[in-house]
Amino acid sequence: MRPVVFAANWKMNHGPTAAHGFMRTFLEQYDRHMDRTVLFFPPALAFAAAREPAVERPDIGFGVQNIHWADHGAFTGELAAPMARDAGADYVLVGHSERRHIFGETDQQCADKCAAAERAGLTPLLCVGETLDQRERGETESVVTRQLKAGLSALTQCDITTSIIAYEPVWAIGTGRNATPDDAAQIHAVLRNALADLISDRAANVSILYGGSVTPTNVRDLLAAPNIDGVLVGGASLDPTKWLSICTA
């Protein structure tokens, strides 16, 4: 059984004070669930404040939103994977649609960042997804397969097995539009097959999440669809009440 994963990407929201308050409110209401894992990706400056209330909760994990591919060096403003690990991170987002389409992150950089994460003992959560134009041209499967295989290309088969994948159609990020459960399940199956090309039957052990305008209203239907092992949530994860409703689905 693959664990159900609920991942909150706070993006550039919640500073240290707000992050600490959010976590205290959420943890007071969220009982430990052994059948699921809840992950938080706060902004770097709020990471310590968010993590502190949850240090005694092994069911809650924390990650950073981005790393550099180098372990150290003259890269002003960047975070190295060993630094993130030292701060208590266990996970890192790689290739989020905003990193790709706003900041120009390439497939090769995603591969380098996944490799850096694994070197430091972080689990990469690799994001893949197509734009609206690519979807309308019928390129969805080729785009996500290319992004997946390129992003994982520098990892060993063992490292791939312990990674997490997220399918997040770019046209559904923060737009209020989301893929139907059937649409999402179809692409998740494509990704599962692409993983099988890389790691054979061990592909069954890799969690594949859906991201894109997930809400308390649609999360149950998404989780009920085949091959959807959890969700990567942006806007709805910023409110502790909404996030609690999603995590207890």
Which residues are identified as catalytic?
Answer: 96, 168
What the block records as the tokens of 28 is: 């007071």
Task: Please tell me the distance from the alpha carbon of residue 139 to that of residue 130, in angstroms, as a whole number.
Answer: 8
Q: Which helix (H) or strand (E) holds 124?
A: strand 123-128
Classified as helix, coil or strand, 239 is coil
Decide: 184 and 129 in contact? Cβ < 8 Å: no
CB atoms closer than 10 angstroms to residue 154: 18
CB atoms within 10 A of CB 39: 22
The answer to whether the CB of 1 falls within 8 A of the CB of 88 is no
Q: Are 65 and 19 in contact (CB under 8 A)?
A: no
Q: Which residue has the tokens 């099988």?
A: 196
Q: What is the DSSP letter of 68?
A: B
Which contiguous run of DSSP H or E holds residue 244? helix 240-247
